[in-house]
Amino acid sequence: MTSTTLTRESGTSSTQAPNTLGWWLSDVWEMTLRNVRHVLRSPDLVMFSLVQPVMFILLFTYVFGGAIDVGGDRYIQFLLPGILVQMALYGSAAGTTIGVAAEMREGLMDRFRSMPMSRSAVLIGRTLSEIFRNVGVAGVTVGIGMLVGFRFHNGLLPVLAGLLLLLLFGYAVSWFAAYLGLSVRNAEAAQAVGGVWIFPFTLISSAFVPTESMPDWLQAYAAHSPMTAAVNALRALLSGGPATSYVLQTVAWSLGLIVVFAPLAVRKYGSR
């Protein structure tokens, strides 16, 4: 065996001079790379993320679609933006809550917290990797949607803007989910709370049925839910129609979620 030095060499230091922003970006990059590798190296997670949109599109289109009146258009044309938002939220929310809660119990988090790295980078890397996953999920969802009859009825720019908006909204929700995952501190509890709010939240909206079909008291909520804003914005951007108000609402909700929950989550992670 070679005789190499295990510890610091006298007089030299390989640690570079601090450059706060540069190292913060470097930490974020390392953490994002780590989480993206996790996504790519968990085949069951990838399968689950991809099977789910397929299942939802087929179930809604062929089981419920015939009974839901969306006013002239084919149901898939109405449904796809709703499924896109639901899938983005489902991945971001359940995945992040459970993932973060599980990770907090591992020794690796103690190691990270005992290191001079940025604390926010751990969570930023985690949430950024959800964007990466959502790109894949959205791609599959659109592909399957097009197979069963969905068509873009708008220019390339609005469509791209719609997809960016989708990713932003999913990203914002993943910060809420991260905070939830840090608050429960137990993987079983995270399983229970991680995805459970997603179904009422996504179903009581314009995602699957026109809100006008709901009773008045429910409509009052559904019409103003951030889910409805995001779905309507996406629908308008993919299929045409007035989008501005919905886009602004969605951006406002997203930024609001990030501004509130990102600092809360980072503080929770760093608390000792």
Partner 1 sequence: MPAAIRTAGLCKRFGSLTALDHVDLTVPEGTVHGLLGPNGAGKTTTVRVLATLIRPDEGAAEVFGVDVRDDPGRIRSLIGLTGQYAAVDELLTGRENLHMIGRLFRQSRPDCRARASELLERFGLDHAADRQPRTYSGGMRRRLDLAASLMARPRLIFLDEPTTGLDPRSRMEVWRLVRELVGEGTTVLLTTQYLEEADQLADSLSVIDQGRVIVGGTPGELKAQVGQDRVDITLLDSEGMDRTVRLLRDRLGADPVADPEKMVVRAPLADGGTLPDLLHLLRQSGVAIGDVALRRPTLDDVFLAVTGRSAEHGSDQRDSRKESERT
- Give the binding site for partner 1 (CB under 8 A): 1-2, 4-9, 14-16, 18, 23, 26-27, 30, 33-34, 37-38, 41-42, 106-108, 110-117, 272
In angstroms, the CA 247 to CA 244 distance is: 5
In angstroms, the CA 237 to CA 174 distance is: 23
Shortest separation between residue 241's beta carbon and partner 1, angstroms: 43
CA–CA distances in Å: residue 130 to residues 33, 76, 152, 182, 218:
12, 26, 25, 17, 31
In angstroms, the CA 97 to CA 94 distance is: 5
* Residue closer to partner 1, measured from CB, 2 or 244: 2
* Residue closer to partner 1, measured from CB, 45 or 135: 45
Shortest separation between residue 26's beta carbon and partner 1, angstroms: 6
Shortest separation between residue 88's beta carbon and partner 1, angstroms: 23
Shortest separation between residue 128's beta carbon and partner 1, angstroms: 15
* Residue closer to partner 1, measured from CB, 3 or 244: 3
In angstroms, the CA 182 to CA 269 distance is: 7
In angstroms, the CA 68 to CA 138 distance is: 24
Shortest separation between residue 95's beta carbon and partner 1, angstroms: 15
CA torsion angle 40 231 235 148 (round to 10): 50
* Residue closer to partner 1, measured from CB, 111 or 224: 111
* Residue closer to partner 1, measured from CB, 256 or 270: 270
Report whether 249 contacts 222 (CB < 8 A): no
